[in-house]
Structure 1
Amino acid sequence: MASDTRRSDNVSGKTLLSAHDPSPVRIFNPAGASSFLLIGDHAGNLVPEGLASLGLPAAELERHIGWDIGIGELGPLLAERLDAVFIRQTYSRLVIDCNRDPARADAMPEVSDLTIVPGNQALTAEQRAARVAAIQVPYQDAIGAELARRDAAGMETILVSLHSFTPAMQAVPRPWQVGVLHDRGNTGFARALIAAFERAGDLTVGDNEPYSMDTIDYTVPRHAYERGRAYAEIEVRQDLIATSQCCIAWAARLAAALGAAADSVNRG
Structure 2
Amino acid sequence: MGSSHQNGGMTRAVEVLNAEGAGELVLLCDHASNHFPPPYDQCLGVSEEDKSAHISWDPGALGVAKALSEALDSPLVYTTVSRLVIDCNREEDREDLTPSLSELTEISGNRDLSEEERAFRLDLVHRPFHNAIDKLLSLRKERGLPSAVVSVHTYTPVYKGKQRPWEIGLISESDRSLANPVLAGLNARGDLTVGDNEPYAPSDGVYYTVRRHGEDRSLPCLMIEIRNDEVTTPDEEQRWADLLGPLLKSAAQSALQTSGEEHA
The TM-score, its normalising length taken from structure 1, stands at 0.90
Which of 97, 105, 126 in structure 2 is aligned with 1:136?
A: 126
Q: Which residue identity lines up with residue 127 of structure 1 in the other structure? A: E
CA–CA distance in 2 between the matches of 1:215 and 1:169?
A: 14
- 1:125 matched to which residue of 2? 115
In 2: Cα distance, 1:264 partner to 1:199 partner: 18
Pairing 1:46–2:70 present: no
**Alignment partner of 1:55: what SS?**
coil
Question: How many residues align structurally?
Answer: 256
Aligned counterparts of 1:169 and 1:103: Cα–Cα separation in 2: 25
Structure 2 CA distance, aligned partners of 1:65 and 1:266? Answer: 35
Q: CA deviation at 1:180?
A: 0.6
- 2:229 equivalent in structure 1: 239
Residues 1:194 and 2:183 are matched in the alignment: yes
Residue 27 of structure 1, aligned match among 12, 16, 41: 16
After TM superposition, the structure 1 = structure 2 runs for residues 81-92 of structure 1, keeping only pairs within 5 Å, are: 81-92=71-82
The runs of 4+ residues in structure 1 deviating greater than 2 Å are 11-14, 259-268
Instruction: Work out which of the residue numbers 196, 201, 214 in structure 2 matches 1:207.
Output: 196
Q: Residue deviations 1:219-264, cap 9 Å, x none?
A: 1111122221100000011000011111111111111221232355
CA change 1:266–1:25 in 2 (3 A) is closer
Q: CA RMSD in A?
A: 1.8
- 1:181 alignment partner in structure 2: 171
Q: Are 1:71 and 2:61 an aligned pair?
A: yes
Could you list the runs of 5+ residues in structure 2 that have no partner in the other structure? 259-264
The alignment's TM-score, normalised by the length of structure 2, stands at 0.91
Q: Deviations over 1:14-67 (max 9, x none)?
A: 4x5613312110111222110100000111111121223422122101111000
Q: Secondary structure at the match of 2:195?
A: strand
Q: Gaps (5+ residues) in structure 1?
A: 1-10
Tell me the distance in 2 between the aligned counterparts of 1:263 and 1:22: 36
- Give the deviation of 1:114 after TM superposition: 1.2
Could you tell me whether the CA contact under 8 Å between 1:24 and 1:91 is conserved in 2? yes
Q: Equivalent residue of 1:102, what SS?
A: coil
CA contact (8 A) 2:157 2:228 kept: yes
Match of 1:6 in 2: none
Is the contact made by 1:192 and 1:265 (CA closer than 8 Å) also made in structure 2? no
Q: Percent identity?
A: 35
